Amino acid sequence: MKRIHVMAAVIRNAAGQILIAKRPDDAHQGGLWEFPGGKLETDEDRATGLRRELLEELGISVTQARPLIDIRHDYPDKSVRLDVWLVTGFNGEAHGAEGQPVCWVAPSELGNYSFPAANAPIVQAAQLPERYLITPDMADEGALFAGLEQTLENGIRLVQLRQTQLAEREYRALTERVLARFGERFDWLLKGNEPPEYPGVGWHLTARQLHELGSHGLPPRSSTGWLAASCHNAEELSLAQQLGVDFVTLSPVLPTPSHPDAAGLGWEAAQALIGSINKPVYLLGGMSPERLSEAFDAGAQGIAGIRGLF
Ligand SMILES: Nc1nc2c([nH]c(=O)n2[C@@H]2O[C@H](COP(=O)(O)OP(=O)(O)OP(=O)(O)O)[C@@H](O)[C@H]2O)c(=O)[nH]1
Ligand SMILES: [Mg+2]
């Protein structure tokens, strides 16, 4: 089946809400909610196709957009490539120019709407931020907490508590103190052999855990937070996708101060690997905020970093 290239948009307004539209009952995947967009025409470039579709369907002129997530999905009757961009600037009042119902919803409410099966990773990408901080190992708890306060000021909201110098019991005790102090000001992910039991707190799997769980399946999770995994190659990305994680990190992209001799995947290989998985991917290894636009161009959700973001 020939794959249809579709341009679609996660449109975000100044209040942080996202626009969704209802597909006509008689259309493919009819009656479900969607991110506005449509088929790219022959010889049309991606940005032009996106602008044309949003003008036709919503009556808006896009002024600011960049790639968000690019996925391939095979329906029984149709194969699609959903090339989804994040639109953060536009002129005009968005309305259902083809008579379709549209509404602005908070990212956290997207889960209350029914989308086509292909859309699950798009919804996750719409809810996830551009930067994912992994805490550097710090023996000085005061300095760690001060760094986290600074992280909040820098606008970072997604954080993995990684403290490899600590034994399991100490890590648990630190987790309690961190959650007591910062609680819901961050979206947390924890490390460990069991899924965290704190409501809303996520779990970040190591590549080794991915391989182990690949044969046994995931343990039941009581937590409602994100499920993420560390990947380094095509095999691990594919395992992560099979296990149904919400997002992954892919590393190392560039040599890092801690591993100056490790070559890194490089941008080209990273881009090809991102294209092989239908999940939001954070690039890790030698990343800093100045690299964000390169990461978006490679198809990434954004960047993850230890020293580069702390
Ligand atoms: N626009 C859009 N299409 C989606 C989404 N999710 C998804 O599976 N699709 C599928 O991708 C294809 C998009 O085509 P479309 O129906 O929007 O195309 P279009 O605007 O050019 O419409 P037309 O075929 O009536 O000219 C459909 O098969 C649709 O089911 C989504 O979130 N937004
Ligand atoms: Mg359409």
Does residue 66 surpass a pLDDT of 80? Answer: yes
Q: What's the rounded Cα separation, in Å, for the pair 106 and 16?
A: 7
In the chain, domain spans: 2-117, 131-305
Known binder of ligand: residue 35?
Answer: yes
What would the pLDDT profile of 115-159 be if each residue is shown by its tens digit?
999 999 999 999 999 999 999 999 999 999 999 999 999 999 999
CATH of 131-305, picked from 3.20.20.70, 3.30.1330.10, 3.20.20.150, 2.60.40.10, is 3.20.20.70
DSSP-based three-state secondary structure for 112: helix
What would the pLDDT profile of 109-121 be if each residue is shown by its tens digit?
A: 999 999 999 999 9
Q: Is 36 marked within a binding site?
A: yes
- What is the per-residue pLDDT for 125? 98
Which ligand is the nearest neighbour of the Cα of 73? 1
Q: Check pocket membership of 126 for ligand 1, CB cut-off 6 A.
A: no
Residue 248 falls in which region: left (phi positive, over 0), alpha (psi -120 to 50) or beta: beta
- Out of 11, 28, 33, give the residue to mutate to test ligand 1, the one with the largest number of ligand atoms within 8 Å of its CB: 28
CB of residue 80 inside a 6 A radius of ligand 1:
yes
Q: Reply yes or no on whether the pLDDT at 183 is more than 90.
A: no
List of residues 6+ apart from 155 with CB closer than 8 A: none
Token digits for 39? Answer: 């088929």
Q: How far apart (Å, rounded) are the C-alpha atoms in residues 41 and 234?
A: 31
User: What is the reported pLDDT for 257?
Assistant: 74
Confidence category of residue 289, pLDDT binned at 50, 70, 90: very high
Other C-beta atoms lying within 10 Å of the C-beta of residue 26: 7
Sign of CA dihedral 108, 151, 306, 70: positive
DSSP state at residue 289: G
pLDDT at residue 223 in the model: 65
More confident residue, 94 or 259: 94
- Give the model confidence (pLDDT) of 24-40 as tens digits: 999 999 999 999 999 99
57 is in an annotated binding site: yes
- The response to whether 130 counts as a known ligand-binding position is no
The pLDDT of residue 219 is above 80: no
pLDDT for res 198: 93
Q: Is 118 in the pocket of ligand 1 (CB under 6 A)?
A: yes
37 is in an annotated binding site: yes
Indicate whether 261 pLDDT > 80: no
Could you tell me the distance, in angstroms and rounded to a whole number, from the CA of residue 210 to the centre of ligand 2? 37
Distance separating alpha carbons of residues 253 and 127, to the nearest angstrom:
24
Domain 2-117: which topology? Nucleoside Triphosphate Pyrophosphohydrolase (3.90.79)
User: Cis bond leading into 220, ω under 30°?
Assistant: no
What would the pLDDT profile of 76-126 be if each residue is shown by its tens digit?
999 999 999 999 999 999 999 999 999 999 999 999 999 999 999 999 999
Whether the CB of 110 sits within 6 Å of ligand 1: no
Ligand 1, atom 13, residue with closest C-alpha: 38
Distance 30 CA to ligand 1 centre (A): 10
- Residue 139 neighbours by CB distance under 10 Å: 9
- How much of the chain, in percent, has pLDDT values that exceed 90? 91
**Whether residue 19 has its Cβ less than 6 Å from ligand 1:** no
Is there an atom of ligand 1 within 6 Å of 35 CB? yes
Taking 90 as the threshold, does the pLDDT of residue 258 lie above it?
no
Distant-in-sequence, close-in-space partners of 93: CB < 8 Å, separation ≥ 6: 59, 60
Distance between CA atoms of residues 283 and 266, nearest Å? 11
SS3 category, 242 = helix
Non-local CB neighbours of 207 within 8 Å, separated by 6+ positions: 229, 230, 231, 232, 236
Domains 2-117 and 131-305 share a fold: no
Q: Over 80: is that where the pLDDT of 65 sits?
A: yes
Q: How many CB atoms lie within 10 A of CB 279?
A: 23
